[in-house]
Amino acid sequence: MANFQYNQWGMTDLVPAFSQTSQQNYLLQALGIFEKDGSSEIRVSFDRLAESNQSLLNTPQKRYDFSHNSTQLGNASNYLVEIPYFLRSDQISAADFQKGKRRPGRSDEETYLDILGDYIEAHAKAHKRTVETMYARALFQGEVYTPFTETDNERKVIDYAASFDAPFMTETISLAPSTTFDVLEAFNGYLDRINAAADGLYSDITRVVVFAGADAYNKLRFHPSMKEAFQYVSPLAEGNIITQRRDLLPNVQTMSLPGLSVDVIKVTDPLLTAFLASNEMVMLPIFRNGTSAYQHVYSPASTNTRLARSGDLQEYYSYLIEKDLGEENIYSEAGILPVNHVTNMTLKITASL
């Protein structure tokens, strides 16, 4: 942060080190689906995205007449939500590095810097895992857990599909080998449904992605109709999805459906499968930056009063405070509110296998 002077208050900014920790396989964060947006308040109100595509298309008008085209604005629906807040803290004292504890994988003793590095890594990993889990719930189920949001019926789970009157589209299919189901024909139709639902946001779609549970992905990839489509393609050809594996991230499989702007991603991470069953698929559009269809709203710091008073905003805070006798407290805090404005443009598919 540029404004807050950490060293003036006996503090050290750990965000640079925090940011350099391993990203590992955090799929939803790697895809960059959510746009980051800071809120100066701990509660945020937002409007649903709803534009009528018809009002954005000009129709012919008579010259010199007072008739004209006008822009129909989206139906505003304010919803006040307290941004979920997460805090983690640890302490380092002389006892931690004077016990002569051997460092795992080394022959020498554990040092102060070793312990500090471990805490920074642990705090960063906890934050990223929390973000990944919240993204998954917002995308796959259209929900966010906000235990301190005050609503009329004291709900702790906000359902975006209900709040925005934007229910998910649904579909049930059979991927059993004995059926006459044609994968490419079916998903071409699903793509048309999503494009139609996108309405005024159609031109902002960059790609459509299918997040598929492990069983659904496997049945889809090796379905008889897919094997038939690739029967004359060399097994060594890179584009042959039957015989060639392609990884989006290490150990994260993906395939592109031929002739369609659709990517299918195999979901096996337990952080994500908690919200997506093995026989389920979620098909959703990805938008260009600036659309704000999926938002990650973050909030000010709240634990350290000086930092809170500074008014500085960032996605997360991580800092060290030295106490009178030299003990050091490490704090990491973040407000995380993923918002899914476009549940009505998402198709949830349940497959019988």
Averaged pLDDT, groups of 10, the chain, 353 residues long = 80 91 87 93 60 40 50 50 88 82 73 89 92 97 81 66 89 91 96 94 94 97 95 92 93 94 96 97 96 92 91 93 88 93 95 93
HSE (CB half, 13 Å, CA atoms) of 234?
A: 3
- Please report where in the chains the tokens 């779609």 appear, as a residue: 205
CA–CA distances in Å: residue 131 to residues 66, 86, 137, 165, 195: 52, 10, 10, 25, 28
pLDDT in tens, 24-77: 789 999 999 999 999 898 887 754 333 332 333 444 554 545 454 544 444 445
**pLDDT at res. 65:** 52
Report the greatest alpha carbon distance in the chain. 90
Structural domain spans, the chain: 7-53+78-156+292-338, 167-291+342-352
44 SS3 class: strand
CATH 3.15.30 fits 7-53+78-156+292-338, yes or no: yes
Fold of 167-291+342-352: capsid protein of prophage fold (3.30.1930)
Which pTM value belongs to this model?
Answer: 0.88
pLDDT in tens, 188-206: 999 999 999 998 899 999 9
**Which sign does the torsion angle of CA 302, 306, 307, 309 carry?**
positive
Alpha helices in 22-84 (DSSP H): 27-30
